[in-house]
Amino acid sequence: MSRIKKCVIPAAGMGKRLYPLTRGQPKEMLPILNKPVIHYVVDEAIRSGVDEILMVVGAGKEAIINYFDRHKMDDELDANGEYNFPDIYFVRQKEQKGLADAISYARNFTGDEDFLVLLGDTIYRSDDSLTVTSHLLKTYHRIAKPLIALEEIPYDDVMNYGIIGGEETEPGIVRIDKFVEKPNKMDAPSNLGITGIYILQNEIYDFIEVTKPGKNGELQLTDSLGMMLKNQEIYGERINGKRYDIGSLDLWIRTFITFAKEKGY
Ligand code: G1P
């Protein structure tokens, strides 16, 4: 099985939970210390061995595209080549129709290759020297089945996540038998939430094509994955590290404070 070389980063959501901050800027450009969140996401992809990135952007997300230009201060200030990004492609989602729709724009980019998806609003920190994503890639190469990152979520928060049901087949690894997008506490099949790293094969596009609007009237990736379960096994793995989601005001502020304290501010 060949190495995963391509990463799709959907950065097309409206940022409703961060309104009014997101009236004039994309949530992916919110700072965590001196870098926008999207920069951390690109670092995670590169450090996990990816060479090519496609970002799916939408209306009002132009600041993200500008950020990855070569900047005139790079020669002077970027001594470590930290801003020497790999090739980043951009495609515009025509309408904000949901995560599954955003991913469908990657079809030509990924072609026949298996690919990685990292959500544009989540930062990962591993417990060891490998990235959180690299751990998943290792498992993926062993089991050769679509694999998604999971984390235990307090039951009071399950309505903010895609939640899975399934059976643990080995420590930390679950064979998934159910996907529910943002369930009520009562309907949640477990408290294992989807954190935003997906390793997928190109069959997913066929299922996205026939996905109907689901939760909040959007085309939900969890619904496409749920349909795919009828044809093939999908696995989840608990992440080996921490996830910092900046999708709502309290989460963003908490992440900022955690990172700032670590730097001694
Ligand atoms: C998306 C997915 C959801 C997942 C979450 C992780 O939701 O639809 O399944 O658990 O990302 O952050 P969103 O946060 O975009 O509403």
Pocket test for ligand 1, best of 18, 93, 161 (most atoms within 8 A of CB): 161
**Ligand 1 proximity of 119 Cβ (cutoff 6 Å):** yes
> Which tens digit of pLDDT belongs to each residue from 101-116?
999 999 999 999 999 9
Q: At what angle do helices 132-143 and 37-47 cross, to 10 degrees?
A: 40
Q: What is the CATH number of the domain that holds 161?
A: 3.90.550.10
- What's the 160 CA to ligand 1 centre distance in angstroms? 7
Domain-located, residue 265? no
The amino acid present at 104, given as its one-letter code, is: S
Query: Of the candidates 103, 118, 95, 105, which has an alpha carbon nearest to the alpha carbon of residue 217?
Result: 95
**Ligand 1 proximity of 41 Cβ (cutoff 6 Å):** no
**Ligand 1 proximity of 146 Cβ (cutoff 6 Å):** no
Measured CA to CA, the distance from residue 258 to residue 28 in angstroms comes to 18
How many structural domains comprise the chain? 1
Contact 205, 196 (CB under 8 A): no
pTM, 2 dp: 0.96
What is the structure's pLDDT at 14?
86
The mean pLDDT value of the chain amounts to 95
Protein residue with least CA distance to atom 13, ligand 1: 161
Nearest-atom number in ligand 1 for the CA of 122 is 12
> Which tens digit of pLDDT belongs to each residue from 131-154?
999 999 999 999 999 999 999 999
The amino acid present at 143, given as its one-letter code, is: I
Q: What residues contact 110, with CB distance under 8 A and at least 6 apart? A: 6, 8, 54, 202
Measured CA to CA, the distance from residue 98 to residue 262 in angstroms comes to 35
Protein residue with least CA distance to atom 11, ligand 1: 196
- What's the 181 CA to ligand 1 centre distance in angstroms? 8
Domain-located, residue 1? no
Measured CA to CA, the distance from residue 130 to residue 118 in angstroms comes to 16
Query: Of the candidates 53, 44, 58, 76, which has an alpha carbon nearest to the alpha carbon of residue 11?
Result: 58
Measured CA to CA, the distance from residue 249 to residue 164 in angstroms comes to 25
> Which tens digit of pLDDT belongs to each residue from 198-207?
999 999 999 9
**Ligand 1 proximity of 193 Cβ (cutoff 6 Å):** yes
**CA 19 from chain center: how many Å?**
21
Protein residue with least CA distance to atom 5, ligand 1: 161
**CA 127 from chain center: how many Å?**
19
What is the structure's pLDDT at 94?
95
What is the structure's pLDDT at 71?
86
Nearest-atom number in ligand 1 for the CA of 99 is 8
- What's the 81 CA to ligand 1 centre distance in angstroms? 32
CB atoms within 10 A of CB 70: 11
**Ligand 1 proximity of 13 Cβ (cutoff 6 Å):** yes
Domain-located, residue 201? yes
**Ligand 1 proximity of 222 Cβ (cutoff 6 Å):** yes
**Ligand 1 proximity of 106 Cβ (cutoff 6 Å):** no
Measured CA to CA, the distance from residue 51 to residue 27 in angstroms comes to 25
Protein residue with least CA distance to atom 3, ligand 1: 162
Domain that holds residue 99: 6-260
Share of the chain above pLDDT 70, in %: 100
Strands 173-181 and 162-170: antiparallel
Which whole number is the average pLDDT over 34-63?
96
Contact 209, 262 (CB under 8 A): no
Share of the chain above pLDDT 90, in %: 90
Protein residue with least CA distance to atom 9, ligand 1: 162
